[in-house]
């Protein structure tokens, strides 16, 4: 194994430590240079090329397809095309069907010659992957807007969903927060069926494949097939009712959906403060009759424009902005790197975070009615949607700084509110999800329009571990009931090979790092067999160059877990995991090799 180095081959410890200190000081100085004048940090949040494709489609719908920016987006799409002709969802990944279909359509829409070698390769790859029929629901609905797919063949997303009472097994609040933010405006789009003609030369009938079908998430065995058949029957029934025009509640449903959206645009950078709901909201507002110069309509375009990164030759789009997360992470990193806890730059960052505390109820209140507002969100403004991950990280950062006078009192009150809110979000299984409590009905993933594979928001090991880390920082003991339940959840979630799945990072290296560091911080015995298994799994993933890496392929293929090109971030996660596990000697190794 690469970590088994002979002592004689190791660098001189004094010079090695000097290099480490030099690197640390340089990194700390650079991070402080990146701090904004008001105290916060915000780095670019990268996404896949679906963002640029859907952005161009919307620009064409709005009559802005001839703007120079659209050609810059096309140039960016051409840069991202793979050698096999498709487009990937992540660097180093394989061609993905929905990503490729949208990029191909947009390039045709913007005048790319269909007989060019690049487009020929793209066509071949798309047909190989399943063609238009193999695309997911959202892709089919977007293509239907532009006449490239039949509305009746796209999965039904009726706006009457917003009228379903909360006592039903399925209602709006059984979906994940991001799904409902996407689905509510999309239901208006599905019901009102906007139409935007495209030139004959931009049609993509050549991408149709007879017999193609979209993959379904696996629920397991006969039960999964039963739910799939049931929801397909419901989908067919909805479409029959739609064709005969028997929709007595349609007007009420559209009004309720519109009101639902408008209520959540207040104190928010667009609906959900993230690209897909913002785009769907713009389509929906247009079909509801809002003039394009209406202040509300204009505000959503402004939010979309904030996500654009325009350069000399290209334009790319961020999925959202991440200042709260970046600021809290930067504060903790600087603290760990030796910046004094009373440094005024940390105080300035803390004050910025306090200015972004959630002080009003959001969707989380539906399933958690007994708690007062608190916590933090991810973006600059997203008051309806605080999340447990950000809240835990902000609490961790704020608890580490020493603040002057009134600012200290203000921080103490915010920490109390945030901690109370976070504790109230613990699920019955002892874990924490991201935005909601009790949003874990797996059978809902078989609804036809749920094929984006993110319909629910169950407890996850990575978020639970981050909360547990915060508990340890705030002085919660491992035997207190809230901590014990979280610990038990994490231990149940460990994979047989010793790793943990990480939903919100990539992936098993991320989850295993957080789980080990949290369990060590809260006081669990790291000589236990589960810790030894975890440490051995981390070591088994080390690359020959000494580093670690993992590609998002592990989300679809467990054989890819912990495998990928070495990179600094994932190597750091692995090293911190080994430090938490006690290093090789403590974890049951032979004592040789460098101790991390």
Task: State how far Cα 120 lies from the chain centre.
Answer: 33
408/462 Cα distance (integer angstroms): 30
Do 89 and 52 contact (CB within 8 A), yes or no?
A: no
Q: Residue 185 phi/psi, 5° resolution?
A: -65, -30
**Angle separating helix axes 50-61 and 137-145, nearest 10 degrees:** 30
260/270 Cα distance (integer angstroms): 13
Compute the 3-state secondary structure of the chain and give helix, strand, coil in percent, each to the nearest 5. Answer: 55, 0, 40
Instruction: Tell me the DSSP string of 468-519.
Output: HHHHHHTT--TTSHHHHHHHHHHHHH--TTS----TTSSSHHHHHHHHHHHH
Least Cα distance to 533 among 455, 587, 460 occurs for 587
495 Cβ partners below 8 Å, 6+ apart? 501, 508
Return the SS3 of 403. coil
552/505 Cα distance (integer angstroms): 9
280 Cβ partners below 8 Å, 6+ apart? 182, 185, 186, 189, 271
Q: Which of 269, 389, 436, 457 is catalytic?
A: 389
573/542 Cα distance (integer angstroms): 12
Cα–Cα–Cα angle for 385, 256, 140, nearest 5°? 75
Q: Among this protein's residues, is 389 annotated catalytic?
A: yes
The residues carrying an active-site annotation are 389
């Amino acid at each position: 194994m690469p970590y088994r180095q002979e002592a004689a081959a190791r660098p001189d410890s004094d010079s090695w430590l000097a290099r480490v200190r030099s690197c640390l000081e340089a990194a700390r100085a650079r991070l402080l240079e990146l701090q904004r004048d008001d105290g916060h940090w915000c780095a670019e949040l990268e996404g896949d090329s679906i963002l640029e494709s859907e952005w161009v489609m919307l620009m064409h719908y709005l009559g802005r397809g001839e703007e120079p920016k659209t050609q810059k987006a096309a140039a960016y799409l051409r840069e991202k095309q793979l050698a096999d002709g498709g487009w990937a969802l992540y660097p180093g990944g394989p061609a993905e069907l929905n990503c490729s279909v949208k990029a191909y359509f947009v390039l045709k829409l913007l005048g790319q010659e269909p007989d060019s070698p690049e487009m020929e390769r793209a066509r071949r790859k798309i047909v190989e992957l399943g063609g238009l029929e193999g695309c997911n629901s959202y892709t089919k609905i977007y293509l239907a807007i532009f006449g490239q797919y039949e509305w009746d063949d796209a999965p039904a997303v009726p706006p009457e969903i917003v009228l379903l009472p909360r006592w039903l097994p399925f209602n709006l609040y059984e979906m994940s927060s991001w799904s409902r933010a996407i689905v509510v405006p999309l239901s208006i789009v599905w019901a009102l069926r906007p139409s935007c003609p495209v030139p004959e030369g931009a049609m993509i009938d050549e991408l149709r494949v007879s017999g193609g079908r979209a993959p379904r998430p696996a629920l397991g065995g006969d039960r999964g097939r039963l739910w799939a058949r049931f929801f397909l029957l419901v989908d067919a029934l909805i479409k029959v009712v739609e064709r005969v025009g028997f929709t007595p509640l349609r007007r009420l449903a559209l009004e309720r959906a519109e009101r639902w959206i408008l209520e959540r645009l207040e104190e928010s950078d667009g609906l959900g403060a993230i690209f897909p709901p913002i785009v769907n909201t713009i389509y929906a507002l247009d079909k509801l009759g809002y003039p394009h110069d209406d202040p509300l309509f204009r505000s959503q375009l402004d939010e979309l424009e904030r996500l654009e990164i325009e350069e000399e030759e290209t334009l790319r789009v961020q999925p959202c902005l991440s200042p709260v997360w970046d600021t809290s992470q930067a504060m903790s990193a600087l603290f760990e790197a030796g910046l004094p806890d009373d440094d005024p730059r940390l105080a300035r960052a803390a004050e910025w975070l306090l200015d972004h505390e959630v002080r009003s109820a959001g969707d989380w209140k539906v399933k958690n009615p007994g708690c007062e507002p608190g916590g933090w969100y991810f973006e600059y403004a997203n008051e309806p949607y605080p999340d447990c991950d950000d809240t835990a990280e902000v609490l961790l950062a704020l608890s580490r700084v020493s603040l002057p006078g009134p600012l200290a009192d203000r921080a103490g009150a915010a920490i109390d509110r945030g901690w109370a809110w976070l504790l109230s979000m613990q699920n019955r299984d002892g874990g924490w999800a991201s935005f909601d409590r009790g949003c874990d009905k797996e059978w809902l993933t078989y609804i036809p329009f749920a094929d984006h594979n993110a319909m629910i928001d169950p407890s996850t090991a990575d978020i639970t571990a981050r909360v547990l880390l915060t508990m340890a920082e705030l002085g919660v003991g491992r035997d207190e009931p809230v901590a014990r339940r979280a610990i038990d959840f994490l231990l149940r979630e460990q994979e047989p090979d010793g790793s943990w799945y990480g939903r919100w990072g990539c992936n098993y290296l991320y989850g295993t790092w957080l789980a080990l560091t949290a369990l060590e911080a809260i006081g669990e015995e790291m000589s236990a067999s589960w810790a030894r298994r975890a440490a051995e799994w981390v070591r088994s993933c080390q690359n020959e160059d000494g580093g670690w890496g993992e590609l998002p392929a592990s989300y679809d293929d467990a054989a890819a877990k912990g495998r990928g090109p070495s990179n600094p971030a994932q190597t750091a996660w692995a090293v911190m995991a080994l430090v938490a596990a006690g290093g090789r000697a403590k974890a049951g190794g032979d004592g040789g090799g460098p101790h991390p």
